[in-house]
Structure 1
Amino acid sequence: MNELLEGREKCYQCYRPISSCMCPHIRPIMTQTKFVILMHPKEFKKTKNGTGRLTHLSLPNSELYIDIDFSEHTAVNTLINNPNNLCYVLYPGKNALHLNKEKIETVGKQVVIFIIDSTWPCSVKMLRLSSNLQNLPRMSFTHSKSSQFRIKEQPKEFCLSTIESTLSVLELLNEQGIEEIEEGAFESFLDPFTSMVEYQLGCASDSIKSVRFIKRD
C-alpha cells in the first residue's frame, strides 16, 4: 500500500518512498518475547535511515508507539500493569540485568522488552520524563560487534542501531532458551537494514558523481 505525499509516492509500511521501499527485504521472525518500540518523534521523521520501524515490521510480536513522555500512555501502561507480564526496558544501568551473564527467570510470564528508539541525548530525556519506564528493571548486554550503520556516525564505538541491538538481544534470548529461533533466521534479520544502508550509500555516490560531472562541464 502507498500514498501520494508531498508529490512522492510512499509505502504505508516502511514509510519510505516507493522507489526505495525496504519491505521486500523484511524476513519476519516470530518470537515468544514481546518487543515494544518507543520511538521519539524525531526518529519518526527519519524515513531515510530510521531502523525502529524496520525492527517493528520484522517482529510480528511487537508494538510501536511514538511519543516523548509515556507516563500516561494507555497501551504502555496496560502492558506494564498486566500481572502476567515481566517487563524490562533495554537501557544500561548499574543494576541492569546483564543478558550475557544473567538468565531471565520468566516464572511463566510473558517477557516484554521496551526499546527506546532515539538518539542517546533524546533517550535520556524520554526515560527521565516517563516515570512508568523509570520504575521498570533495566536490561543490558555487551557485544564485540561493529555497527554496520555506515551512513550514520555512532556516538560511541559500542553503539548499535535499534535493529542491530534487537538482533543481539534475540541471539542472547535464544541462548537462554527463552526463544527457539532457527539460526538461519538471524542471518536475514538485518537484510532490510543492510539494504537501506547500501541504497543510501549508492545515492550518496551518485550525488558525488553528479557534482564532479557538473564541475567538469
Structure 2
Amino acid sequence: MKTYFGDREKCYKCYRPASSCMCEHIHNVKTKTKFVILMHPKEFKKVKNGTGHLTHLALQNSELFVGVDFSNHQKINEIIESYDSYVLYPSKEALNISRTNPHSKRDMAIFIIDSTWSCSVKMLRESKNLQALRHMSFDSVKLSQFKIKQQPAEFCLSTIESTLSVLELLNKYEIENIEKNDLEEFLNPFEQMIEYQQQIIANPISNAVRFKRRSEI
C-alpha cells in the first residue's frame, strides 16, 4: 500500500519513496529470539538508505519503536521483564557471542539501536531501562556492503548486516534453527537498495526522467 508524505508518494511499510520501494525483495525469517529495533527520530526521517525498517520487515518476531528516551515505554519495559534481554552494543563488558554461547533458560530479546554512533550513545544515556541491560557484541569478520555510505570505521556494519551476523551466530549455537536459504536471502532488500542507489548515482538525469514518468502513470 502506498500513501503520501508531503508531495511524494511513499510506501508506508518500508518508508521509502514508492518509486524505489523494496518490499517485494523482503524475505521473512521466523525466529525464537525477539528483536527490538530502537530507531532514533533522525534515522526515521531518512528515506534513501535506512535499513532499520527493512530489518524489522524481514523478522517476523520483531518490533520497531522510534524515540530517544524509552525509560517509561510500557511495551519495552514489558519485553525487558519477559525476556532475557540484551542491547547489541560493542562495549568492553559486552558478551561477545562470537566467542561465548549466549544460551539462556528463557527466550532472548535483543535490542538493536538504529542510529549514528553519537545518537546511540545519547539513547543509551537517556533510557534508564536500557542501561540495566547487558550488552552483546560479535567479532565483525565481514566488510560492510553499504557502498553508498561511508561507515565511521572499517568494522562497522549497517543495522540489517549486524542482525544477519547475530542470526548466523545464534544458528551456530542452535539457539535458532534458521534455514540456510533464509539467511542467504536476508540481505536481499538491502542489496537491491544499494544497487538502485548506485544506478541513480551513475546516471541521475535519465533515472530522474524515468521515475518522473512512472509517477505520472
The interval holding the TM-score normalised by the smaller chain is: over 0.9
Structure 1 segments unaligned to the other structure (5+ residues): 211-217
2:117 pairs with one of 105, 116, 120: 120
1:155 aligns with 2:147: no
Q: Following TM superposition, by how much is the alpha carbon of 1:67 offset from its aligned partner in structure 2, in angstroms?
A: 0.3
1:186 aligns with 2:183: yes
1:134 corresponds to which letter in structure 2? Q
- The CA distance in 2 between the partners of 1:105 and 1:15, in whole Å, is 35
Q: TM-score when scaled to structure 2?
A: 0.92
Q: Following TM superposition, by how much is the alpha carbon of 1:101 offset from its aligned partner in structure 2, in angstroms?
A: 1.0
- The CA distance in 1 between the partners of 2:21 and 2:171, in whole Å, is 30
Structure 2 segments unaligned to the other structure (5+ residues): 208-217
- The CA distance in 2 between the partners of 1:42 and 1:70, in whole Å, is 16
1:94 corresponds to which letter in structure 2? K
Write the deviation string for residues 135-175 of structure 1: whole angstroms up to 9, x where unpaired. 10110000220100011000000000000000000000000
Q: Secondary structure of 1:36's partner?
A: strand
Q: TM-score when scaled to structure 1?
A: 0.92
Name the counterpart of 2:91: 93
Kindly report the root-mean-square deviation, in angstroms, between the aligned alpha carbons of the 2 structures. Answer: 1.3
- The CA distance in 2 between the partners of 1:178 and 1:206, in whole Å, is 45
1:144 aligns with 2:144: no
- The CA distance in 1 between the partners of 2:145 and 2:205, in whole Å, is 22
Q: Secondary structure of 2:36's partner?
A: strand
Name the counterpart of 2:212: none
Write the deviation string for residues 8-58 of structure 1: whole angstroms up to 9, x where unpaired. 221111011111000000001000100000000010011110000000000
1:1-217 matched pairs, under 5 angstroms = 1-82=1-82, 85-107=83-105, 109-207=106-204
Q: How many residue pairs were aligned? A: 207
Q: 1:208 to 1:19 in 2, by over 3 A?
A: closer
- The CA distance in 2 between the partners of 1:96 and 1:57, in whole Å, is 27
Q: Secondary structure of 1:32's partner?
A: coil
- The CA distance in 2 between the partners of 1:66 and 1:115, in whole Å, is 12
Q: Secondary structure of 1:9's partner?
A: strand
- The CA distance in 1 between the partners of 2:90 and 2:36, in whole Å, is 17
- The CA distance in 1 between the partners of 2:10 and 2:206, in whole Å, is 26
Contact 2:39/2:65, CA 8 A, preserved across alignment: yes
Q: Following TM superposition, by how much is the alpha carbon of 1:208 offset from its aligned partner in structure 2, in angstroms?
A: 7.3
